[in-house]
């Protein structure tokens, strides 16, 4: 199985519109990497961070839609 990929997203300084969110890193492999990106980006004014994890597994559409 492919190793998981962690993508870090954030909003630039002064921006509140979630559609203006940008990818800050696609090179994170663990929480330490994520915290480093958040620390550096925060110093530049970025905020409202979120992480997206892609693990290479098949999506579970049935489980997602069975609410």
The confidence score (pLDDT) of residue 2 equals 62
Would the pTM of this model clear 0.75, i.e. be above it?
yes
The confidence score (pLDDT) of residue 67 equals 64
- Residue 49 burial (C-beta neighbours within 10 Å; 0-12, 13-18, 19+): middle
The confidence score (pLDDT) of residue 66 equals 73
- Number of CB atoms found within 10 A of residue 59's CB: 7
pLDDT in tens, 13-44: 999 999 999 999 999 989 999 999 999 999 99
CA angle (10 as vertex; 2, 40 as ends), nearest 5: 90
pLDDT in tens, 45-67: 999 999 999 988 888 888 778 76
């Amino acid at each position: 199985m492919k190793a998981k990929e962690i993508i870090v997203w954030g909003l630039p300084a002064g921006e509140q519109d979630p559609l203006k969110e940008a990818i800050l890193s696609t090179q994170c492999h663990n929480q330490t990497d994520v915290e480093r990106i958040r620390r550096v980006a925060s110093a530049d004014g970025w905020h409202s961070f979120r992480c997206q994890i892609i693990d290479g597994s098949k999506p579970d559409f049935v489980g997602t839609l069975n609410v």
